[in-house]
Amino acid sequence: MHPFRYLRPESAAEAVAARGEDDETRYLAGGQSLLPALKLRLAHPSVLIDIARLPELRTLRRHQGGLEAGAALTHAEIAGLDDIPALAALAGSIGDLQIRNMGTLGGSLAHNDPASDHAAAVLGLGATVRTDRREIAADGFFLDMFETALEPDELIVSVNFPRPRRAGYAKVRNPASGYPVVGVFVAETDGGIRVAVTGAGGCVFRLPDFEAALADNFRPGALAGLATPVNGLNRDIHATAEYRAHLIGVLAGRAVERCR
Amino acid sequence: MRIRLTVNGAGVEADIEPATLLSALLRERLGLTGTHQGCDTGQCGACTVHVDGRAVKSCLMLAAQADGRRVLTIEGVAEGEALHPVQRAFRDRHALQCGFCTPGMVMTALDLVGRLDTADEGAIRHGLAGNLCRCTGYRPIVEAIAESIRARRGDG
């Protein structure tokens, strides 16, 4: 790792003031993606701002419509919440035990890995990302590989998850990395059916034709014959674009079966 | 920078470079070499320790992130010469071969034994996903953890 300074501010406002707008400073949450990047010198900030203990980011608020979870809650902590079973199950399936004990909800969203599990839940449930300055709907948050709508110094404070009528998640994991090769989150929400796919493209995305088919008939069989265009899907040594397109159909069906 | 933390129950103060990993602080500064450094990429789990009671990979954590926290390493698990029940179960079940992965396995096992209500093999294997054993010793490790969970519940 390149040398850096380490700051641990006491408040979110202090953290944002220290962050600045260039890549010389970076927020550090759990560090489970950032530290490997630092070790590989893919990132070399001169200042790290540790936000993992900020009280504003460690909140949990249950409300009538759902659950507002602080950005610095760990995957393990989210996995222990039974409010939205599909979200808890998804969080409990991320990485491995040690990573779930350190990695955070907000860190995962800000990083926006193409194969992020949490991104699938946030987009699939139609959650809202609350930052130090505004609220961003999930549909406008995830832009592209490692790119979000966040401004450089913008800090995720919490995520508001509306409680779905039912929801389910299914994925195929890469056995070496633990990341999903493809994951599909299906939810019936007050705003309609939502289907979010992770691992298959530059970042998480929705499938409108799957959503329409499930709105007519909420059964795995309703998806028969629907094909995902191969164009734009990831292709790498782990899976071809054609295989990922196939997995999307299979896993969407499994996610529907798991909905509760 | 200066950090203060508790390691195996004792207060520790250290002047460190901010880029110091927790694994390096433990091994190189404090001489606690029971925490093994296997891959240094967060894959193998040999460096697993507890921070505030939860298993984490000490090569994926800055020492600075442990400032003010309670760290438990494999050296702090036994009571003097008396092995912890989980360590005894590992010994009784022959849950190690070369032993390189064992400190990390035991630290993860301690977290799992506290977390799991039943000795379900699938849940144990899921919980062990972040610890690699290259002597293919998983079966006895899973059995040792299952036995520890049953013993804790008093039905072993």
* ipTM value for the complex: 0.96
Q: Which residues contact A142 (CB under 8 A, 6 or more apart)?
A: A112, A119, A123, A148, A149, A203, A204, A205
* Same structural domain, B89 and B132: yes
Interface residues of chain A, partner chain B, Cβ below 8 Å? 1-6, 8, 28, 31-32, 35-36, 38-39, 48, 50, 52, 76, 95-99, 101-102, 178
Q: Mean pLDDT, to the nearest integer, of A39-61?
A: 96
Residue A170 near residue A255 (C-beta atoms within 8 A):
yes
A6 forms bridges with which residues in the sheet? A48
At CB < 8 Å, which residues of chain B contact A? Answer: 1, 17-19, 40-42, 45, 48, 54-57, 60-62, 64-65, 67, 108, 111-112, 127-131
Q: Are residues B104 and B129 in the same domain?
A: yes
Distance CA A127, CA A106 (A): 13
DSSP string, A137-165: EGGGTEEETTEES--TT--EEEEEEEPPS
Can you tell me the mean pLDDT for A29-50? 96
User: Which contiguous run of DSSP H or E holds residue A112?
Assistant: none
Structure tokens at B149: 């969970």
Q: Supply the pLDDT for residue A176.
A: 85
Contact residues on chain A for B129, CB-CB shorter than 8 A: 96-97, 178
| Secondary structure letter of residue B7 according to DSSP | E
Location of structure tokens 């409108």: A208
- Give the 3-state secondary structure of residue A73: coil
Q: Residue B67 is part of which domain span?
A: 2-76
| Domain co-membership, B54 together with B28 | yes
What per-residue confidence (pLDDT) applies to B151?
A: 93
pLDDT level of residue A6 (50, 70, 90 thresholds) = very high
The number of distinct structural domains making up chain B is 2
- Residue B155's pLDDT is 62
**Same domain (yes/no): B93, B42:** no
CB-nearest partner of B48 from A2, A98, A178: A98
B70 and B22 in one domain?
Answer: yes
Res A242: pLDDT:
97
Rounded distance, CA B31 to CA B33, Å? 6
Question: Which of A17-21, A121-125, A129-133 comes out lowest in average pLDDT?
Answer: A17-21
CA angle B45, A44, A3 (to 5 degrees): 80
Please say which residue of B59, B76, B93 terminates a domain.
B76
B148 pLDDT more than 70: yes
What confidence tier does A12 reach under pLDDT thresholds 50, 70, 90?
A: very high
CB pair distance less than 8 Å for B130 and A95: yes
Instruction: Verify whether the Cβ–Cβ distance B42 to A1 is below 8 Å.
Output: no
Residues in chain B closer than 8 A to A28 (CB atoms): 62, 65
Rg value, chain A, Cα: 18
Question: What superfamily does domain A166-258 belong to in CATH?
Answer: CO dehydrogenase flavoprotein, C-terminal domain (3.30.390.50)
In chain B, the residue whose alpha carbon lies closest to the alpha carbon of A1 is B19
Contacting residues of A for B111, CB less than 8 Å apart: 97, 101
Which residues from A are below 8 Å from B54, CB to CB? 76, 101
Say whether A36 and B60 touch across the interface (CB within 8 A). yes
Task: Specify the pLDDT at position A23.
Answer: 78
Residues B94 and B144 in one domain: yes
pLDDT of B149 higher than 90 = yes
| Domain edge (last residue) among B13, B45, B76 | B76
Same domain, B91 and B70: no
Q: Which of B17, B129, B131 has its CB closest to that of A178?
A: B129
Cα B12 versus chain centre, distance: 19
Q: What is the DSSP string of B101-140?
A: SHHHHHHHHHHHHHH-SS--HHHHHHHTTT---TT--HHH
Q: What does the pLDDT look like over A172-230, one tens digit per residue?
A: 999 888 999 999 999 999 999 999 999 999 999 999 999 999 999 999 999 998 988 89
Distances in Å between the alpha carbon of A236 and those of A111, A183, A200, B41, B56?
20, 16, 11, 21, 30
Q: Once rounded to an integer, what is the mean pLDDT over residues A127-139?
A: 98
For a pLDDT cut of 70, what percent of chain A falls above it?
100
Residue in this structure with the two tokens 């909905």, named with its chain if needed: A259
* Residue of B50, B51, B57, B58 best to disrupt the A interface, most CBs of A under 10 A: B57
Q: Which is more confident, B152 or A169?
A: A169
Residues B38 and B103 placed together within one structural domain of the fold: no
Q: Same structural domain for residues B108 and B49?
A: no
The answer on B94 and B29 residing in a single domain is no
pLDDT > 90: what percent of chain A?
94
Closest chain B residue to A45 measured between Cα atoms?
B19
Mean pLDDT rounded to a whole number for chain A? 96
- The pLDDT tens digits for B104-116 are 999 999 999 999 9
Which of B44, B76, B108 is a domain's end point? B76
Same domain, B94 and B52: no
Residues B122 and B69 grouped into a single domain: no
- List phi, psi (to 5°) of A40: -85, 0
3-state SS, residue A195: strand
Which DSSP category does A56 fall into?
G
CATH code: domain of residue B147: 1.10.150.120
Per-residue pLDDT for B156 more than 60? Answer: no
8 A C-beta contact, residue A198 and residue A115: yes
Contact in structure between A196 and A248 (CB atoms under 8 Å): no
